[in-house]
Chains A and B, each alone.
Chain A
Amino acid sequence: MEKRIIQLTVNSEEYEVVVAPNQTLLEVLREDLYLTGTKEGCGEGACGTCTVLLDGRPVRSCLTLVVEVQGREITTIEGLAPMGELHPVQKAFVEHGAIQCGFCAPGMILTTKALLDENPTPTEQEARQAISGNVCRCTGYAKIVEAMLKAAEMV
């Protein structure tokens, strides 16, 4: 199994990393690029904490082979606040108490961003549908949906 050098575009920055073919995008983000905002939950695609945006759409980084995403635009939670200034979706989550333990928050926030980019005025039903693949084990869904709808007004 030969390692190879690949180019990754993460949060609009170019990275050159040495990877093995069996590494997932999640592993490389966390262990090579130290972008630990993206979390590993179940590791089998069921929980949504590892969500990143691939060309603007939410995907599971734990089920994405890193060698297959060269040349694609990858956005992690760190990319939403590059200069330390929170993104409106993040602000809405903070202001509306949508973050309890915080483990699901990166996935929830990125999924919300992708939703609002495509549909700036979602209904509650559409918001719930969008995060239907993201699990919050504190079960704070009511506040999360509230924050999502408020974020829609702020963006």
Chain B
Amino acid sequence: MRLPKFEHLQPESLEEALDLLSEYGEEAKVIAGGTDLLVSMKHRLFTPKYLLNLKGLELDFIEDGREGLRIGALTRLTTLIKSPLVREKFPVLAQAAGYVSAPPLQNMGTLGGNLCLNTRCFFYNQSQFWRQARPLCVKTGGEICHVVKGSDHCYSVYQSDLAPVLIALEARVKVAKKGSEWVIPLLDLYTGKGEEPIALEAGEILTEVEIPVPAASWTGDYQKLRYRGAMDFPLVGVAAVLNWNGENCARARVVLTAVASAPIVVEEASRLLEGQKPDEEAIARAAEAAYEVAPPVANIGSTPLYRRKMVRVMTKRAIANTCGKG
């Protein structure tokens, strides 16, 4: 498969990159690891006039500060997996990064790229030839959804493994555009709209992730359901992070991925787990709460019913592991 034609831009600095992006606007796309973008371009889902390479910019770093850990958006997944700092401070992040695809793609893919993954669907992630057999769907500029008949919006699934973990850790991300930069909670990076899942305008890029130091002692776990032990995107992913006050859970965050167009925070699970020593019943009820808010549809592997049931199972496992009961 060949890539469509484009001009390749290689900025020397972040400032130059932002200048170029503000100049070219919608006509430009940025490339980091390229493992998601180039496949989409081969499928002609994107045919940007300009492709701006971010690799080489100084956004490949892991720094420990008083506020927490700062990780550059261009940090490779392999670096996250192997970094002694990440493994010591946030082992659950290294764990989740190790579940992404397979080692050669972890050598290429970046943290920023993983967080900015496009949403996926059986009817969208296909070659142009394949897609031509059907009318355009909502995500490709049409008016119908091939998955949910009668729907006027897109149900494509957000399948990052790192986003749920980082949201559970209350990470923030730095966004930059020409002349300014700002910090938003990672959760706000996601619109929940399958058509435009990432809340970045043309000219804006994600430059950095900040993970605050948790106030108390804490534990975390990430559970991923997929057909094979490698390569596959999650069919369901559940991150659980619990802060502890002695034996009691002071704060709990359970976040789902791969069940909707954005990661889902299970608010009810926090309420059910906090302020007590979570026993099996509390964990089961929290898992039930996750099941209640997960609405998968038939647009990636497996069936919606199985995936939804597995939300309950994976949530139970994630929380149990977090409580040391796995």
What are the residues of chain A within 8 A of B103 when measuring CB–CB? 58, 111, 129-130, 132-133
- Asked whether B7 lies within 8 Å of A1 as measured between CB atoms, the reply is yes
Tell which of B3, B31, B102, B107 touches A57, judged by Cβ atoms closer than 8 Å: B107
Instruction: Give residues 76-111 of B contacting A (CB, 8 Å).
Output: 78, 101-105, 107-108
- Give per-residue flags for A13-57: 1 if the beta carbon is below 8 A from chain B beta carbons, else 0: 000000011111001000000000000000111101001001001
> Among the listed B38, B51, B104, which residue makes an inter-chain contact with A21, where contact means beta carbons less than 8 Å apart?
B51
**Residues from chain B with Cβ under 8 Å of A54 in the complex:** 107
Given A1-B7, A133-B231; A45-B105 close (CB under 8 Å): yes
CB-contacts of A64-105 with B (<8 A): 64-65, 67-68
Cβ A60 vs Cβ B51 within 8 A: no
CB <8 Å contact, A1 and B1: no
Within 8 A of A (CB), among B1-37: 1-8, 10, 31, 34-35
Of the four ranges (under 10, 10 to 19, 20 to 34, 35 or more), the interface on chain B belongs to 20 to 34
Q: Closest CB-CB distance, B86 to chain A, in whole Å?
A: 18
Distance (whole angstroms) from the CB of A131 to the closest CB of chain B: 9
With A21-B51, A58-B104, A133-B102 known to touch, is A64 a contact of B42 (CB < 8 Å)? Answer: no
**Does B148 interact with chain A (Cβ within 8 Å)?**
no
Residues of the A chain whose Cβ atoms lie less than 8 Å from the Cβ of B251: none
Q: Is the CB of A24 within 8 A of B3?
A: yes
Which residues from A are CB-within-8-Å of B324? Answer: none
A44 touches B229 (CB 8 A): no
| A132 B231 Cβ-Cβ under 8 A | yes
| Given known contacts A44-B42, A46-B231, A133-B231, A111 and B104 CB-to-CB distance under 8 angstroms | yes
Instruction: Check B213 for interface membership: any CB of A closer than 8 A.
Output: no
Cα distance A68–B7 in the bound complex, in angstroms: 13
Tell me the minimal C-beta distance from A74 to chain B in angstroms: 14
Given A21-B7, A22-B3, A44-B1, check contact A65 B34 (CB 8 Å): yes
* Residue picked from A24, A45, A134, most chain B C-beta under 10 Å: A45
Tell yes or no: A155 within 8 A of B by CB. Answer: no
Measured between alpha carbons, how far is A133 from B105 in the docked complex, in Å?
A: 8
Q: A48-B104, A68-B53, A130-B103 are in contact. Are A60 and B8 (CB under 8 A)?
A: no
In the complex, B230 has a CB within 8 A of chain A: yes
B39–A63 CB distance below 8 A: yes
CA of A44 to CA of B101 in the docked complex: distance in angstroms? 13
Query: Quick check: B8 and A65 within 8 Å, CB to CB?
Result: yes
Determine how close the nearest CB of chain B comes to the CB of A46; give it in whole angstroms.
Answer: 6
> How distant is the Cα of A65 from the Cα of B8 in the complex, in angstroms?
10
Residues on B with beta carbons closer than 8 Å to the beta carbon of A48: 102, 104
B174: CB under 8 A from chain A? no
Alpha-carbon separation in the docked complex, A2 to B6 (Å) = 9
Give min CB distance, B36 to chain A, whole Å. Answer: 9
Residues from chain A with a CB closer than 8 A to the CB of B231 are 46, 132-133
B55 within 8 A of A: yes
* Contact across chains for A60 and B105 when beta carbons are under 8 A apart: yes
Known: A1-B6, A60-B35. 6 other contacts (CB 8 A): A24-B3, A57-B104, A59-B107, A63-B38, A111-B103, A132-B229
**Which 5 pairs between the two chains have the least Cβ-Cβ distance?**
A133-B102, A132-B230, A21-B8, A43-B1, A22-B3
21 contacts between A and B (CB under 8 A): A2-B7, A21-B5, A21-B7, A22-B2, A22-B6, A22-B8, A27-B2, A43-B42, A44-B39, A45-B35, A45-B38, A45-B39, A45-B105, A57-B107, A59-B108, A63-B39, A65-B8, A67-B8, A129-B103, A132-B103, A134-B104
